Every structure is written in structure tokens, then in C-alpha cells.
A and B are shown apart, each in its own frame.
Chain A
């Protein structure tokens, strides 16, 4: 999918930070917050303004898990697979969600760009394991069935909006 990016908006984002190479992570975070991923078009602009090469920015962007170079879904579902969640069976939840959405470890976002399913190593809510979050909102003590219900609810909401 082609996404055209308003480079003026991008400049505006970069302007909020000091234009030095140490700000690159914060700027990438801000870009990702705006577009839900880091568009490829951002790279030449970032490179010329930060005094880095595109390869160097790509290097930083691919090092950190949080950065996505592919568009993400409207609903990002993160299943916690921290130790506490893992020992309380978080993987079956993950498998259920992937199964229902036709996703896998490699394909993490649905074609309609509605759902992204990924794991996260710990959300810090271990007391109520297993936990998953939908766009940062946490849902405690999940089970595969509860996850299915949640998914159905999200789909319904989406349907109502549309």
C-alpha cells in the first residue's frame, strides 16, 4: 500500500527536537506515533536533517522492536509473554488470535490494516497474568475464549463505525 507522507508535517515533528543525531530515537518515536509506522519516505528527510546516512537510521530503526517499517493495524493487540504470563499460558491466547485473524509470526498485520498481533516481553502487570493490551489498554486474566470475545467486540465496533 502506498502512503504518501506530508513532508511538511514531518518537518514540524523534527522541529520539536534538537536536530542532532542523538535525537533520532525520539524523532522516530514521534513519527511512529503520527503514522503508526515509520514510512520509508521519512528516511531521506531525516538523514539530511540529522546528518546521518539512511543506512545508519535504518540501522537504529531496525534494532528496536518498537519501530515498525510496515504499516500497522488500527488495533494493535499485544499479548504479554513475560514469565508470569507465560507460565499462566499466554501462548494459547496468541495462537487463538493469530488463528482467527489468519496471522503468523511473520505476518503480523491483517490485509485490511485493522489488526496487528504481536507479543511483548512484559507489560508489568504480572499480578493479573496473562495480560494483553489493545492499543495500550490492558485486559487482565485473559483466556483464549475471552480473547475471541474481545476480538468479536472490536470487529463489531468497527462495523458500527463503518
Chain B
């Protein structure tokens, strides 16, 4: 099937809607990366099997013709509540089942699909609150889903489902009702800011590329989401790939480009598969290719896989990588909008930004401006992880406070632990503490306190987390991922890591903190690219908020959170010890001695703090302090 005109698409959409309306029940198995790792595939198979055994007709993909009473079984995009995977949604009622195992499927088919009953056992239930439908769960009801509106509600592998929920109607509008200038103007007016971290106004970028006279221009989508602890873009690419394709095609139309590239992180094989399939489907329907819907506009999209380099998330490194080179950022100017990919004017935005575009064009700028704050309108996706009750993928209006995210949506600290800090923005970001809980999160407020939205990874830590160790963790990451081109980042981060490793090992020296800050200053202000410029953020922000922890490590050789292995002091509780000698047998340095059946003792001067004795003791007699 190939759509030749706008009318063809409109007709197809109506037909798809009819099918959905007439259709029966649907089982949506969340196939986000977390649920997949919990066995979503097996759950999916179990459902088809259970339906077959019950003799219920089922359909596995969207069909325009076919048995309309058949129960649809689909793998959907990420439903967000990753902690409780595998998640299963039953439509049209909107029931949400959590922690579904393959063995639960027969029961769901029998009771819910056939019988129409709800199974309490599989419901979301926390703090005495039992929710049947997805919308009742506080985790969802406190969010605003724009880019995630289809995620978990449609089969991302089907372009027809996407079309049935209004997909590609913004493209229609952009192609047939708006001049390219109008599109750029709308994006400018929407104050859409790049969701990849920097927050650069997208409209301005598009405008600059649109103005360039060049034989070729490129639209590049940055799907190289490398922040450890962030998976929002992954979820979008996996859960609703057509939405970002639509955004890219609109960008192409607006800026006068006929070719796009999507650069996807290599660690996201599922995203690559989904995107490839989505591009193929769009090409088949004539939504990508030559003379799209008879508009005379041509656009094609290539998909490039990354090869494992965080720095390729930086614009010029990403384009270098597409060009087959080492992903080393280059100096600017010239800027990407002038000399980007293959030296041509290039629009480079990330997945979430492109996914927001069809929403602005479709719903209108004014509707978009109603979300978020005046200077940062719209919503932002975060991945909420760490020691929090509800980990997962969330979308909230810009300006939402940390407190709302951690406590209302996140459900508070896991097991009632004490909140300590939220690390936001990954290795480029900073730690937000108690005092920042009521800070409205947007680009500017975070920049003001020396943090960064980054791509939106949020890791919540409790008081068991050592902030020096966390800083070391990020520095280790950055140091590993530094491309090595400029001296301050290559050598500076290496030295900062050296110092931090020393500190967490109890070998810190007086003056180390000052040296760290001095190096941080140089690295921040002289590095070539954004990665280097922000590399010191985690260190500086933890020193600022948790200086006493640094001092405790350095002066007292003590880790206040009790997390640093090398600073632990092991002792044997003489009462609990039964003198079995297991500990002394596993000790690699012979630091434990004693007589059988009498309490053993650890020689602190020999102990290398490996913790082997703790694991070996059957009586929990080895104490670590």
C-alpha cells in the first residue's frame, strides 16, 4: 500500500479508527527494556497460548481486515513503572497488572478477558492503596504525558496503530497547511528547548539552518543516550518510534533538508530494530521517500549504530562518527548549523526534542505553552532510579519540583530510608540535596545552582550512599569516556580520578580537596567540548554539599555512609563467633587467627578489607564498621 495524497492518509486513518473502535479487548504486554529483561517475551507467548487453549481468537498485529472480535495481544512500549515488570495493560478498560509471570497469563485470560473480572492479586498496591486502572495509580496520575502519550498504549511495531491514534497528522499539517517558515516560527514561538541537556532553543537552530544556502542539509537525531542511569530516549525509540520520525520529517520540511540520520547507541539493539522497522513501514506507505503524500517533498532516513563511545553524544563527535571517523569533538566555530555532518548545515536534536515537535505542530503552540514554565515550556522525561519505591520512566511538566518527583511520583524512599541526594544529569550533572527539594526543575534553575538537566537521568540515593564514592564513580566514567583530544579533559580527569581513588581508599591527603577544586576549575573552563566542560560537576557539587564527607575520608579515614570498602574496619563479635575458622580460611592475607571453638580475631594491620570473611561467616559474627 502506498499513500499518494493527503486524502489517502486521512482515509486510512479513519479506517484504522474504525477497526480500533469495533475491535474487542486488547492485552498489551510492556516490552520496554526493563520488562523485556523480566521476561516480557515469555509472558507474551503465554498469553497467546492461553488464549489458544481457551479457544479465544486472537490477533497478534493490527490488521485492517480480519476478525474484529479477536483479542489483540501486543507488545507495547515502556509503561514506565519499570520496578514492577512485567506490566500488562488490558484495554479498553485500562486495567494494569504488575509483576506478571507467564504462569499468571491463563488466569488473566480466564478471569479478565473471558470473565471481565479484575484480579486483585496482580494489582498495583502500595500503602493500602489498590489501583485497578493505570490512571488511578499516583505514579501516573501525577505525570503529564505528551511524548509518552502512546508509549504503552499502542503496538510500536505497527505504523497503522500509530496512524489510528492520530499519528502523522502533524506531518500532514506541516506539509499541506504550513509554509516551512511557519513551521520554524511555530517551533520558535513554542520556546522548545533541546531536551538533550544544553537547552538550546530548537527554533533558533532550525532558523539558522533554514537560512543557509547549501546544496545539501541534514537532519540528525541524537539517539546516543549514553548517560549511565538514563533510558528515556531508549524508551521513546522502542515504545513510539514513529513519533520521532514524524518530528524529523517535519524538521526536514522546515529546514529544507531531504535526508536524515538517526544515531542510535549500540547498547540499544531493540531500538535499532524498532526504528528500522518503522522506517521501512513509513517508506512502504510513502510517508518517507520521494514526493511524500504528493506534496513534492522528499525525505529519507538512515540509521547508524554507535559503537560504544559516550562522547559521541556531543554534536560534532556524533557527526564525525557518522562520517566514519573517531568520535572526537572538533573546535567551534564553525558551528554544526553551518558545517555539520559532511560539512553541511545540520540540525542536530535529540530523540525527545524531535518527539515533541509533532505535539507542538498538532496541538498548536498555545496548547504546548500551557505546560511547564514560561522560559521552559513543555514537559521533560526523566528516568527515575536508585533507592526509591517506584523506579521508572516519567514525564512531567518543566518546573515540577524534586519533592513532587521523589515523593509523589516516586513514592518516596525505598523501605523508608532517609533521603540524601538526587544525582541529576549523569556524569555532567550534580547532586541536589534536601535544600533543593522544592526547586522547580527547569533548564535555568538547574544551571543557576551549577547542575544540569543533562538528558534527564535521576538517581536517588539514601544515606547509605557515599558521596565521595559517587563522585569517584562519575569521574571514573568520564575519564574512561574522555576522547583524549584536549589536554585538560584527558589529563585533568585522570588526575582528579587518581585523587578521588586515593581518598576513598583512605589514602587522602590534606589539600586534596583544594587540588580537586583547582583541577576542576581548569578542566571546566578550558576543555574543548561539553563533556569536558561538565566533567567536574559531580565532584564540585558533592564537595559543595558534602564537604564534611570528604574531610572524614581524608582526616579520619572514615566513610560516614559506611560504603567505602577500604575504609571499613572489620572485627569479630566474640559472643557470636563460634570459632569455626571459616573466616580465617577464606582470608587472603592471613589476617584472622584463633583457636577452634574459641572466638577468632582480626589483625587490623594485615586486613586488606576485602570482606571475604563477612561473606564466609555463617553466624554473622564478622562486623564491619
Contacts and interface: CB of A to CB of B under 8 A. Distances in A.
A–B contact, 8 Å CB criterion (strictly below) = yes
Given A87-B386, A122-B226, A128-B83, 10 more contacts: A24-B324, A26-B304, A63-B326, A63-B328, A64-B306, A65-B307, A84-B386, A122-B230, A126-B391, A127-B82
B307 A25 contact: yes
Interface stretch (A6-14, A108-116, A133-141, A153-161): A133-141
B190 interface: no
B267 A127 contact: no
B400 to A, nearest CB: 20
Contacts of A25: 304-305, 307, 321, 324
A150 interface: no
Interface string B34-55: 1011100000000000000000
Interface string B245-280: 000000000000000000000111100000000000
A103 interface: no
B473 interface: yes
Interface stretch (B290-298, B457-465, B523-531): B457-465
Contacts, number: 141
Interface of B: 33-34, 36-38, 81-83, 85, 225-231, 234-235, 266-269, 304-310, 321-328, 342, 383, 385-387, 391-393, 423, 426, 457, 459, 461, 465, 470, 473-474, 477, 481, 483
Contact of B473 (A22, A83, A136): A83
Interface residues of A, number: 39
A31 to B, nearest CB: 12
Given A22-B323, A127-B391, A127-B392, A81 B228 contact: yes
29 contacts: A22-B322, A22-B323, A24-B324, A25-B307, A28-B307, A29-B266, A63-B309, A63-B483, A64-B308, A65-B308, A65-B309, A66-B306, A66-B308, A81-B228, A83-B385, A84-B385, A84-B386, A87-B387, A88-B387, A122-B230, A122-B267, A123-B33, A124-B267, A125-B37, A126-B385, A127-B82, A128-B85, A138-B36, A140-B85
B229 A125 contact: no
Nearest to B473: A86
B83 A82 contact: no
A87 B388 CA distance: 11
Contacts of B470: 87
A121 B328 CA distance: 19
Contact of A126 (B34, B325, B461, B483): B34
Contacts of B83: 127-128
B531 to A, nearest CB: 13
A152 interface: no
Contact of A60 (B267, B326, B457, B461): B326
A28 B305 CA distance: 11
Contacts of A65: 307-309
Nearest to B271: A124
Contacts of B230: 122, 124, 126
Nearest to B234: A124
